[in-house]
Structure 1
Amino acid sequence: MQAAEKFSFELCKETADWLLGHTKQRPQIAIVCGSGLGLLADNLKNQESFQYTDIPNFPHSTVPGHEGRLIFGELQGKPCVCMKGRFHLYEGYPLWKVTFPIRVFKLLGIKILLVTNAAGALEDSYHIGDFMVIRDHINLLGLAGQNPLLGPNEERFGARFPALSDAYDRKICALALQIARRLGYASFVKEGVYCMVGGPNFESIAEARLLHLLGADAVGMSTAAEVVVARHCGLRVFGLSLITNKVTKEYDAQEVVDHLHVLEVSQRQASVLQRFLTELVGQLEWIDSDPEDKETACQNGT
């Protein structure tokens, strides 16, 4: 049986019903925590936590820095659910399984998905520790025919051919950039294009040069597939990359990246990222108003 044939609406509903039956919380915001970025999940109020291994049909996280817990709770008074660890194609999961939680979130009643990741900088002006608000992405796997929407379309989630020209919600992005200015983070909060590759190896020099020529500012091994499914489901999406390393584009460079270094940078910046995203979640009620009105209100102390 092909991987795409194993996906079904009923499978997602079974998992969503199990979760709804084991918690009274009804989240509207879902947050996917990337490598080493689980501190945000730990700070939810009124927590209810489930190990991935206990949730029916859920994959198991196998990567260091991805703890493998689904945490329900409140952030800034808003009901949220956090994935403390995600899944990847390189772990051996087909993309329908990698993105399975996103469809479950839709059935839980989620309206907004926040996705974070650790990424390598292709853009020369980026520095280690910078944040990149994702304006758009290049889904190399999708361009090569590896797409989580392969197979029969499930109309109960969305239409056959979803548009991605608005994949990342522009109002939420604008709000995030304004929050960065207000918090004094503007010097290290950028806006750019994320590229998803399959991994698990880091990019060769020739590959890094190619990705930069294609217009990618940062590269990683997640996120784009989740965003494709989220938009197919009609969720609003905000994406944020933590720049954990500079991708080598020169043959005489001495730097060699490894996953432990990625986790070290993630842990160093985790508290700053937590503050940034906590502030964003707290102000999401402003996303349907004029972002300039929000900035003025903040300046006036309201």
Structure 2
Amino acid sequence: MSQLTVGIIGAGRIGKLHVDNLRKIPQIHIKSVSDVVINHLKAWAKEKQIEVLTNDYHELLADPEIQAVFICSPTNTHATIIKEAALAGKDIFCEKPVSLSVEETEEALAVVEKAGVKLQIGFNRRYDPNFRKIQIIVKEGRIGQPHILRITSRDPEPPGVDYVKVSGGLFMDMMIHDFDMARYITGSEVVEVSAAGAVLVDPEIGEAGDVDTAIVTLKFTNGALGVIDNSRQAVYGYDQRLEIFGDKGAAQADNNRGTNVEVSSAEFVTKDKPLHFFLERYRQAYIDEVLEFASAILENTEITCTGFDGLQAQRIAKAALESLEKGVPVKLNQAVQVI
């Protein structure tokens, strides 16, 4: 396998995470990093052996040595950069969501398809070994026909209100991962969405026009039913659980913990709290997703988490918000594609 030269667009928390992970992979070389403000990044870039640090991502797109770009900038820039990168002939890894508008996402995906480049969306949970094993179990028919999917996803603490205002809301920012997992695990598209939400954690989130607690129910083309619950604050840690139940059995994935030690006594039974946040919980998944991206480019294989997957999750998120606002179930009329 030869080496893939990449550029990173956006050096916030997720951009820096990708830099750290990519530097561990011998077949990937990070040449350039861009961010709108770079003065505070100079010492960091030197430490990470970044050759080029710039405040203009167009320099990355114009560099013939850069084969692929990682888009880690704010969501409202994703679609524009995807189109520009595709027209520059670069393969693209983009963090979720593609945009906050279904129409804008469809336009970006059309440019990608016409340009013939690869696009992978950063739904890292697909690469978690626990969830991936459940997906394989379902695909192999070991639990039979899926009947009920349950996903719990709760953050340890709410984000700042400034972030909430530009995030696209809980459904587009947080639960969109679970919408993707729902399609991934069941192997089926969502045809109807019902949502209920409340502000139970932070009044400022409500003042910003969002909810911090939500339950969404889903109906799938294969007849299965799903329920997802989200909270912006679980005081005991990062709560990530999943169960799929079918006519031949069930499969569950519990929380990851610091250890699997359980202590029992006459007074109590205890075990470690869940890992505290997504950077710990999905550390290996973040590495595995970029390994697959690099392999798809270097070996010319198919991307398994595509722009279409990003679009479908975004459509579900949009339907959930509509259901919350109107207080009625919302149907999704969309073409079905094999997952």
Tell me if TM exceeds 0.5. no
Q: TM-score, normalised by structure 1?
A: 0.30
Larger radius of gyration: 2
What TM-score do the two structures reach when normalised by structure 2? Answer: 0.28
